[in-house]
Amino acid sequence: MFGGNWTTDKLQRIRKYLVAYTTIMRKQNFKQYMYIDAFAGTGWLTLKQNEQSELQSELPLFAGIVEQDSKTNLEGSARIALQVEPRFTKYIFVEKDKKRFEQLENIKLEFPDRDISLSNSDANMFIRQICQNQNWIEKRERAVLFLDPYGMQVPWDTVAAIAQTQAIDLWYLFPIGVALNRLLKKKGQINESYRQKIDIIIGTNEWYNVFYEERKQLGLFGEELDIVKVANFDSIKQYFVGRLKTIFPGVADHPKLLYNSKNNPLYLLCFASGNRRGSPTAIKIAQDILRRE
Ligand SMILES: C[S@@+](CC[C@H](N)C(=O)[O-])C[C@H]1O[C@@H](n2cnc3c(N)ncnc32)[C@H](O)[C@@H]1O
């Protein structure tokens, strides 16, 4: 781990990528290279009781999996990105919660010499709009986009809209343990609404036949057909990397599992690169950052 807990670990890895990215982009001839933070928070890490209950209310079975972070005044992704040198040409921060957004607005005063655009809106709507409403390649615009949701807030359609620009590098904290694996019951009897939630974040219902298998068991009345879970964190990880590869020209093959202090895997830190020409370098850098202990 890069020191600290899984939250600071993920942020330090992303910071390293941002530094490498702007160092390269500064020497190229792009009109804009932006940092887009779609789940920006307040600018500070404040994982407190209210955030835990927000996560738990999404699906009650998440109770207890995310530990409380007692630290305060640690910088969050937005502030970290703003301090990266060389700088991005523009910063876009999206935060849905009104109170958090009001706090986030202070960064404009703190960083008056940066081009910062703030939106108090839903990340998915916002992303689809900026991805679909302009031709990124023609306008010579590029971006790094960070998706840092608590749980299953990012439908596959949003990820596909990002890929379709062919101009955006994506860091995505996929909720593999905090949500997905918890919904994959051992016997394959998954409540229909949970099944739909999984379909939405993975973008297909084919996962069921990958994560479950029919097995013949010898029961009291002869052979019976059972459905058993064959998925584990490793196979889910590989499956999700494969899904990303269907829409991005480059995907880091070894995303990083982030664990809480009780050693429960919470999130999978994934990287995908949107531009065919830029992607070999981007993947090499990201994979190196993801591999480090
Ligand atoms: C895990 S926190 C982000 C932390 C932040 N990246 C940082 O490092 O400080 C997730 C944030 O997303 C916000 N959020 C939740 N759902 C959202 C949505 N649909 N659109 C935009 N923001 C959302 C929450 O209010 C919360 O502040």
The share of the chain scoring above pLDDT 90, in percent, equals 81
Question: What is the CB < 6 Å shell around ligand 1?
Answer: 11, 39-41, 45, 76-77, 94-97, 100, 122-123, 148-150, 153
CA 122–ligand 1 middle distance (angstroms): 10
CA 90–ligand 1 middle distance (angstroms): 20
Residue range 8-28: average pLDDT? 97
Taking alpha carbons only, the member of 265, 206, 204, 197 closest to residue 234 is 265
**Is 189 inside any structural domain?**
no
**Is 44 inside any structural domain?**
yes
**Is 204 inside any structural domain?**
no
**Is 66 inside any structural domain?**
yes
For residue range 43-89, what is the model confidence (pLDDT) as tens digits? 998 754 444 444 454 444 554 444 444 445 799 999 999 999 999 99
Q: Which CATH number goes with the domain that contains 146?
A: 3.40.50
Residue range 194-205: average pLDDT? 97
The overall average pLDDT reported for the chain is 91
**Is 53 inside any structural domain?**
yes
pLDDT at 12 over 60: yes
**Is 272 inside any structural domain?**
yes
For residue range 214-241, what is the model confidence (pLDDT) as tens digits? 988 888 888 888 899 999 999 999 999 9
**Is 213 inside any structural domain?**
no
CA 43–ligand 1 middle distance (angstroms): 10
Q: Whose CA is nearest to atom 26 of ligand 1?
A: 41
pLDDT at 279 over 90: yes
Residue corresponding to tokens 């591999």: 291
Taking alpha carbons only, the member of 172, 177, 183, 224 closest to residue 207 is 183
Report pLDDT for 216: 86
Give Cβ neighbours of residue 120 (< 8 Å, ≥ 6 apart): 95, 96, 98, 101
Domain extent, residue 117, equals 6-184+232-291
Termini Cα distance of the chain: 5
CA 152–ligand 1 middle distance (angstroms): 12
- Domain count for the chain: 1
Distance between CA atoms of 279 and 252, rounded to whole angstroms? 10
For residue range 115-143, what is the model confidence (pLDDT) as tens digits? 999 999 999 999 999 999 889 999 999 99
**Is 220 inside any structural domain?**
no
Residue range 199-221: average pLDDT? 93
What is the pLDDT confidence band of residue 31, given thresholds at 50, 70 and 90?
Answer: very high
